[in-house]
Structure 1
Amino acid sequence: MTQYRRVYAPGATWFFTVNLAERKRNTLLVDKIDPLRQAFRKVKQRHPFDINAIVVMPDHLHCIWTLPEVDTDYSIRWNLLKGQFSRSLEKGERISASRMSKRERGIWQRRFWTHLITDQEDFNRHVDYIHWNPVKHGIVKQVADWPYSSFHHYVRLGVYPETWGHNGKFDFEAGE
């Protein structure tokens, strides 16, 4: 069995990629955006963290979180968030034998991808990647056309112009 080692750093900022178990032609996350938002709210109330950037795609999401100064446990937050969202949905998804034996739902992939943000340039590149993701996947032609993204908040703050990414060029690859 492979051992996965995660780095934990108090108050750190992290980039995450979290996928549905069944990604092919799955639109669950945008179809059920309100229960997903509610799951985020509930987890943030119990275990505070800042969402610095986010994009919710039909079958996965990317986000950047900053944890409180004395806290290292992003894993509990993801566990609670996935559970909260899953409990809000009717049962009926395909469940593998191994998941069934552990009484797990078949909504999310068990693991998620993390990257410790190391500096401002790293942060900026990952925020750009997050906001570019709907264009990368061919869901929209322009970043501003995707509603499930913190891009619109960044535009209101004056970080991006509304037309950012309209030239169709972006070459950074983060975890997917």
Structure 2
Amino acid sequence: MSDYRRVYIPGGCYFFTVVTYRRQAIFADERNVARLRQAFKAVKAKRPFELTAAVVLPDHLHCIWQLPEGDANYSARWQMIKTDFSRSMTTEVKADAAKTVWQPRFFEHCIRDEADFQRHLDYIHYNPVKHGLTDSPANWPHSSFRRFVAGGEYPLHWGNAGVASADFDRE
């Protein structure tokens, strides 16, 4: 077993990847995307954080969070989100009494600087195109991309299929 240690920085900015159990496409159902949004809303009301960017794909999601000053406990928030969402699902239960909704862990990366933030933001928004789910980030319904276009941070055509990620033009 590896000696993996999570990095907890109060007020930190983090990129996350969370995957469904055995890559089930539970978010292909719009009702489950709505349930996930509700779980985020409920947890943010109890344990505030800023959801800076996000994309939800059929079997996983990516997001960037900014934690409040003095608070580094993103693990508790993910546990609460996963639990809240899982309670709304009718699904198989494993021998350890856990529902078969989520993989038990998640990936986290502490954002180090503005360039690191931009790389992860681009990764999030290009992900539906990368997985062949759409031909343009602007066409994926479960993404923060259009909010960033409205804010002038991306042109509408950014990331259209056929454009290599290294060739993205931000102008």
Shared fold (TM-score greater than 0.5)?
Answer: yes
Tell me, yes or no, if structure 1 residue 156 matches structure 2 residue 156: no
Give runs of aligned pairs for residues 3-82 of structure 1, distance below 5 A.
3-23=3-23, 26-31=24-29, 32-82=32-82
Residue of structure 2 in register with 1:136 after alignment = 130
Q: Which runs of 5+ in 1 are unaligned?
A: 172-176
Task: Tell me the C-alpha RMSD between the 2 structures.
Answer: 1.5
For 1:48 and 1:159, the matched residues in 2 are separated by 25
| Structure 1 consecutive aligned stretches of length 4 or more whose deviation exceeds 6 Å | none
Residue of structure 2 in register with 1:113 after alignment = 107
Tell me, yes or no, if structure 1 residue 146 matches structure 2 residue 146: no
Question: Percent of pairs identical after alignment?
Answer: 50
Superposition TM-score, scaled by structure 1 size: 0.88
Residue of structure 2 in register with 1:168 after alignment = 163
Partner of 1:15, secondary structure, is strand
Moved more, 72-81 or 139-148: 139-148
Partner of 1:22, secondary structure, is helix
For 1:89 and 1:159, the matched residues in 2 are separated by 36
Whether contact under 8 Å (1:15, 1:117) holds in the other structure is yes
For 1:2 and 1:27, the matched residues in 2 are separated by 29
Whether contact under 8 Å (1:30, 1:56) holds in the other structure is no
Aligned length: 164
